[in-house]
Amino acid sequence: MKRPQTQDRLIPGRLPRRPLPFRLAPGPEATAALAGRLGLTGLTGLSFAGTLQPAGRDDWRLEGRLEAVVTQPCVVTLDPVVTAIAEPVTRRYVAGLAAPAEAETEMPPDDSVEPLPREIDLAAVMAEALDLALPLYPRSPAAMAAAAAGAEAGDAAPAPGPDAAPGGDTRRPFAGLADLLSRPGRKDG
């Protein structure tokens, strides 16, 4: 049984060969579910709008814009970090393009090219684009200020590790290398 085509799931074989505008603005339940999947503490203003248009005889091109305001915990302090996201999204769906056979493959020169699927799931494209646009290491203003103050003062450096230079200077890890290399009895090889 064939599923009917909906606003966010498009079947290319059933589409007229003309530009098709789209706009997704998920409701509160769908937005909360996506926020949970992505590990966000907040997600508002989520929208994805653009056009799916024919490209050549059988291919399609999706061009859109993703907008959202996300809240994530700071990686240092766990304070909430709010980020406004406004990203262009482009996908080229190419008929006859084989999907990579191996789990680990090289990144293609154009990462917007994908095999033409039986169904284009606009909600999935939106979720993937949002996931890729998220800051990897969100930092609160307090965490950034503390890091900047520590770098300026130099006295907020972490405790020396096993690879620290003599005297515990962590800013010059190879400071004692010349001394070690010049010691008598050292064998090259």
Q: What is the pLDDT of residues 120-158, one digit of tens each?
A: 999 999 999 999 999 999 988 877 777 777 666 655 445
- Supply 73's token pair: 């915990």
Judge contact between 139 and 155, C-beta under 8 A: no
Which pLDDT tens digit goes with each residue over 12-31? 888 888 999 999 999 999 99
- d(C-alpha 131, C-alpha 125), whole Å: 10
pTM: 0.69
